[in-house]
Amino acid sequence: MSLLAAALLLLGGAFSASGADPAAEPLTAAAGAQAAAGIGGHAIGVRHFAFARGKDRPLPTTVWYPTRGSARRTKGQPQGDAQPLPGKLPLIVWSHGFYSNPQMQEGMTRFLAEAGYVVVAAAYPFTKKDTPKFNKLDVPNQSLDASFVITQLLQPGNPLAGSIDQDRMAAIGHSGGGTTTDGLFTVHRDPRLKAGVIFAGRPAGAYQGAPVPLLFIHGDKDPVVAYEQGRTSYAADPWPKAFLTIVGGEHGAGTNDAERGHHQAMAALLDFLTWTLDGDDTARLRMTGDATLDGVTRFESVGIYSSASTTTTTTTTATAAPATTRPSLAPLAAG
């Protein structure tokens, strides 16, 4: 058993002793590492950009990224315009859901930044919170927006361009943002992306281009985006893929809402990213065990371990992040 696994088991015991359900607490595997080792995660910086894809498509964009120092010392608060960590860092483009925005989903974006990722997130003009012209049919355009903000961030002269490893980029989204992310691998394929994670998304079209691994996470009691829609996307994906079902999970399941299955979703997410972006095969091998807890989650995959689908249930829930982290985990807004 790893140090991190032991830490999570100890924390789980503490939750049980207090009467709390450890599967429902918004505590990450990385937080267990900090508890065990007594060390903090990356401090994070934040920058804001006024990107626009035409005059009718303003894309105010926030970027969170790891910087020098400890999240413990900064109390998890992002430091404006701080210098990023030296070296090349992996990038994630995050897409928000309907009636939401990047700040409302900051629990996830900060979690990923403290884990060592540059996280870029635009507020989409026709599905964000308080937009005067809400239009759910604009989602396909959001995939183009996501690609656009990546391109803008990589432009020479952008203060973060030199910190991004263009060979290690992925996309993640929730709800309408999950469908936006699906679009980046289907109708508006972005070949720069090496992996994708779709939380509670709908199918956007036929998968195309070179195969890349995709991870789907969905609660089977989702009242907003039916679980069957996530299953449809998974069935249509011809590439290496995995599906994490959160049993009894609703729309925010796995996305930092204080719901059961949060530990397993965050552990699987970090394993998946560490494998696909960092090439760490140990993360691939532990993903099934980390993702599954009997009665709480089910995990299956195709093409990740063999040509056959696999489903397991274990009680192992811990994983190591790309770097030891302690995110500040405020509940995500459903969108």
pLDDT single digits (tens) 150-197: 999 999 999 999 999 999 999 999 999 999 999 999 999 999 999 999
- 246 assigned to some structural domain: yes
What pLDDT is recorded for position 119? 98
Q: Look at residue 150 and tell me if it is in a domain.
A: yes
Cα distance between residue 202 and residue 179, in whole Å:
5
Query: pLDDT-derived band of residue 6, with 50, 70 and 90 as boundaries?
Result: very low
Asked whether residue 300 is assigned to any structural domain, the reply reads yes
Q: Map tokens 């990047």 to a residue.
A: 102
Q: 91 in a domain, yes or no?
A: yes
Judge whether 126 lies within some domain.
yes
pTM (2 decimals)?
Answer: 0.82
Q: Tell me, what's the pLDDT at 259?
A: 76
In this predicted structure, what is the pLDDT of residue 112?
A: 94
Q: What sign for the dihedral angle of Cα 105, 111, 112, 116?
A: positive
Total domains in the chain come to 1
Rounded to whole angstroms, the Cα distance separating 105 from 96 reads 7
Nearest to 93 by CA among 119, 55, 116: 119
Q: What is the pLDDT of residue 256?
A: 65
Provide CB contacts within 8 A for 231, sequence distance 6+.
218, 243
Instruction: Give residue 10's domain range.
Output: 3-312
Query: Is residue 30 helix, strand or coil?
Result: helix
Domain assignment present for residue 318? The answer is no
> What pLDDT is stored for residue 327 in this prediction?
41
Residue 30 belongs to a domain with what CATH number? 3.40.50.1820
pLDDT in tens, 196-230: 999 999 999 999 999 999 999 999 999 999 999 99
User: Residue range 129-149: average pLDDT?
Assistant: 95
Percentage of residues in the chain with pLDDT exceeding 90?
A: 69
pLDDT in tens, 73-123: 777 788 898 999 999 999 999 999 999 999 998 989 999 999 999 999 999
**26: in domain:** yes
Inside any domain, residue 13: yes
Mean of pLDDT over the chain: 82
> How far apart are alpha carbons 165 and 286 in whole angstroms?
25
Determine the Cα–Cα distance for residues 278 and 125; give it in Å rounded to an integer: 33
Q: Does residue 29 surpass a pLDDT of 90?
A: no
Determine the average pLDDT of the residues in 272-289. 96
